[in-house]
Structure 1
Amino acid sequence: MIDHTGIGVADVARSAAFYDAALGALGLRRVEQLTEDGQLVGVGYGITYPIFWIDRFHPHGVRQHTAFAARSRAEVEAFHAAAVRAGGIDNGAPGLRDTALGYPAGYYAAFVLDPDGNNMEAIYRER
């Protein structure tokens, strides 16, 4: 089981504004920040401890994919809307994904590219 993960970003402050909005729609918030010489160099998002980090220490531009669990279709939709409003690029509107493409039944998701081109997903698994 994964405890936490993260990605490198080119501009931590710019990406933090994006993730504040996108992850805020899923109930996550900044729980930790790292600074160096007064500059923001890392932000950890979570509820009580950081589960997802953005920072300048890891390579950026690698085009990662990260999927965040949502608690409802409405949360998936809120994530997508907030992420696009915050400058993300739509990479798949909210909706059920096609089982013929390998998605399991009830896979309700949305995809957005972050400021560095990483594919961020919110997913609600209907059971």
Structure 2
Amino acid sequence: MLDHVTIGITDIERSKAFYDQALQALGISRLYAEGIGFAGYGIRPKAFFWIGTRSTPQTGAHIAFTASDRTTVDRFYEDAIKAGGRDNGPPGIRLHYHANYYGAFVLDPDGHNIEAVCHSPQD
């Protein structure tokens, strides 16, 4: 199950204008803006599609998969590294998102940022 997807864009205002309109018929709207460079879209209260400013066109993607618990995040990370992935952030709390955001990040062979995340508190 996917948690969220982030794609790189080069002009945040142009992209917000496009997605504000293009996604409206689907019931998806802009729910969040992080600074001047990011915006999150979804169905209230959850943003699951994010756009973020990049200085150059981005070919890699960020895909986050929901994990049921923190042990599963740890296993994802270990298995992905064993399979040839490259570390892009070991398992841990990411307080800049929220107090219970426990995630791990691995770059796949093509450089895409693959994440497993658990939003639940530690048991």
Taking structure 1 as the reference length, the TM-score comes to 0.49
Q: Establish whether residue 121 from structure 1 lines up as the match of residue 115 from structure 2.
A: yes
Indicate which of 86, 92, 95 corresponds to 1:95: 92
Where does structure 2 lack aligned partners over 5 or more consecutive residues? Answer: 6-57
In structure 2, how many angstroms separate the alpha carbons of the residues matched to 1:90 and 1:116? 13
Following TM superposition, by how much is the alpha carbon of 1:98 offset from its aligned partner in structure 2, in angstroms? 2.3
Where does structure 1 lack aligned partners over 5 or more consecutive residues? Answer: 6-60
In structure 2, how many angstroms separate the alpha carbons of the residues matched to 1:108 and 1:117? 22
Deviations 1:31-60 (A, max 9, x none): xxxxxxxxxxxxxxxxxxxxxxxxxxxxxx
Structure 1 vs Structure 2 CA RMSD = 1.9
Indicate which of 59, 64, 69 corresponds to 2:66: 69
Following TM superposition, by how much is the alpha carbon of 1:96 offset from its aligned partner in structure 2, in angstroms? 0.5
Indicate which of 97, 105, 108 corresponds to 2:102: 108
In structure 1, how many angstroms separate the alpha carbons of the residues matched to 2:66 and 2:113? 14
Which residue identity does 2:109 align to in structure 1?
P
Indicate which of 76, 80, 83 corresponds to 2:80: 83
Deviations 1:20-79 (A, max 9, x none): xxxxxxxxxxxxxxxxxxxxxxxxxxxxxxxxxxxxxxxxx8100000000000000000
Local SS of the residue matching 2:109: coil
Count of residue correspondences: 66
In structure 1, how many angstroms separate the alpha carbons of the residues matched to 2:66 and 2:95? 19
Local SS of the residue matching 1:76: helix
- Percent identity between the two aligned chains: 48
In structure 1, how many angstroms separate the alpha carbons of the residues matched to 2:101 and 2:82? 24
